[in-house]
Structures are given as structure tokens and as C-alpha cells.
Homo-oligomer: A and B are copies of this chain.
Amino acid sequence: MPVSGRLTVVGIGPGPADWVTPAATAALADAKELFGYGPYLDRLPVTLGQTRHCTDNRAELFRAEAALTAASSGARVVVVSGGDPGVFAMAAAVCEAVEHGPTAWRQLDIRVEPGVTAMLAAAARIGAPLGADFACLSLSDNLKPWSLIERRLRLTSEADLVLALYNPASKARPDRIGTALALLAELRGGTTPVIFATAVGRPDEWIDIGELGTCDPARVDMRTLVLVGARGTRIIARPGLPPLVYSERFAKEA
């Protein structure tokens, strides 16, 4: 029998309230204790009787353990995640904490509420760049060596996959996206479409549509999702309107 506590990892999407699913909203309303990165918690309506535990963005494992501890004592706990909890977000940290934590944590009622992850929101803003086979990579080298990231950039280019790049820059390493884009320009050609989608859905949203050979990596920051085209990615010019970008559904051998 599971113990009485419940922990739900809830995805609140990239920003606006109207991209939060009703299931996520219901899970948030039902929680007694909320754990999350401060700016995510700040987006949520205040509910009477709830306790909020804000933690630093980088302290994923610490946050997961604190939330599991609270759930073990019988509380209904929500861990708040930006975007979708399963894509470079809190669900994996919670599972990791369960695997390496006290046996009792395996008996908790653990749930995940999916959400709109950044690459889907970014793609929706400009057309359908993820309309063909694609890969989704984190450029953060906190958790894996840069040599592995580079190898994955090479192999996914050889496979001609569209790329969605998460965590393209951090305060500590603002330059890694420049290194990655220079390598991708070499592998895919300088005229390959590239999109910088920053703060999608928020008031300061802006989107750059350009080419690998001439784009400016300095325009990428922590809030940016980067999309890199494959051979079938097309830009449709529209006089007086932003272009549409999409990846052809059909493909042939190189």
C-alpha cells in the first residue's frame, strides 16, 4: 500500500496562464506544499492554506529531496516545473532522488502532470520547424562533458535531424552556444535556418529567424530556445508579415 503522501510534478508551460492545462491547474489548487524555483512560483495564483518553498534554479536534487521528505510526512506536495516536467526539468530529479533515497519514498503516490515544453511553444510561433524527425539536446555541460555534446551535435547532423537546443547559455558560460553554432554551420552549411526564440509567451518575447552562417550568438541568453534546421527546413517569405518556417514531412536519402 502506498503511504498517504502524494507528490505531483506539475508542468506550468513556458509562461502564460492560458498555456497551463486544466489538469495542472487542478493539481496546483489541491497542493498543501509547493516546491519550486522562485520565478515559477511567482507565476501562480496565491491559494489560502498553501506553503511555498522557493529554491535556487540549480538546486534540483536538493529541491526534489525536500519535496519527497514533505510528501513522506503525509502532505499533498507539488513540485512546480517550467515547461514540461519531463524535458530537462524536475521529473528526472525527483526519480533520481527516489532511486537513491530511503526505501519508504518508493511507496509514495508519485505523479507527473505534462505541460507545453519550450520547443513546442517556440515552434508554434513560427510555423512547424519540428515537423520532421528531430533531436532535443541540452547544451549544459554541468551534467555531461562538452566532448559528448559535440559528438551528439555531429551524429544528429549526420542523421539530418532538426535540433531543439535547451540551456544554450548560462551566466557562467555565455559562449557555449557560439561554439555549438559554429560547429553546426560547418556540419550543416551556413545557409541552414536557425531560430532564437526568447521568453516565448512572455511580454518580452522576441524571435530571430536567420541562418547559421550569419546569426549572432550574442542574442542568445538563458531564456532562449534555439532551433536548428535540417536539409528539409524551409523559410516561406511573406511580404509585410513574419516568415513561416517549417520542416518538410517527406525526406529522401542524401
Which A positions have Cβ atoms within 8 angstroms of B? 1-2, 13, 16-23, 26, 60, 84-88, 91-96, 98-99, 106-107, 110-117, 120-121, 123-125, 127-138, 143-145, 147-148, 151-152, 155-156, 158-161, 234, 236-241, 244-253
A110: which B residues are within 8 A, CB to CB? 127, 244
Min CB distance, A98 to chain B, in Å? 6
Q: How many copies does the complex hold?
A: 2
Task: Assess the B92–A131 pair: CB atoms within 8 A.
Answer: yes
Main secondary structure of the interface of A (DSSP, over half): mixed
- Are B144 and A86 within 8 A (Cβ)? no
Are the CB atoms of B152 and A133 closer together than 8 Å?
yes
Q: For residue A147, which residues in chain B have a CB less than 8 angstroms away from its CB?
A: 253
Q: Which residue of B lies closest to A240 (CB)?
A: B1
Contact B128 A133 (CB under 8 A): no
Could you tell me the distance in whole angstroms from the C-beta of A230 to the nearest C-beta in chain B? 11
Given known pairs A106-B239, A156-B159, A241-B107, the reply for A131 and B19 (CB within 8 Å) is no
Contact of A145 among B127, B159, B253 (CB under 8 A): B253
- B133 adjacent to A92 (CB under 8 Å): no
Given contacts A86-B123, A92-B246, A120-B86, contact A238 B106 (CB under 8 A): yes
Q: Give A183 Cβ to nearest chain B Cβ, in Å.
A: 14
Structural contact, A152 and B159, CB atoms closer than 8 A? yes
Q: How far is the CA of A127 from the CA of B237 in the complex (A)?
A: 42
A135 to chain B, nearest CB (A): 4
A196 to chain B, nearest CB (A): 17
Chain B positions within 8 Å of A152 at CB level: 133, 159-161
- Cα of A137 to Cα of B96 in the assembled complex, Å: 26
Contact B113 A124 (CB under 8 A): yes
State how many angstroms separate the Cβ of A121 from the closest Cβ of chain B: 5
Closest to A110 in B: B244
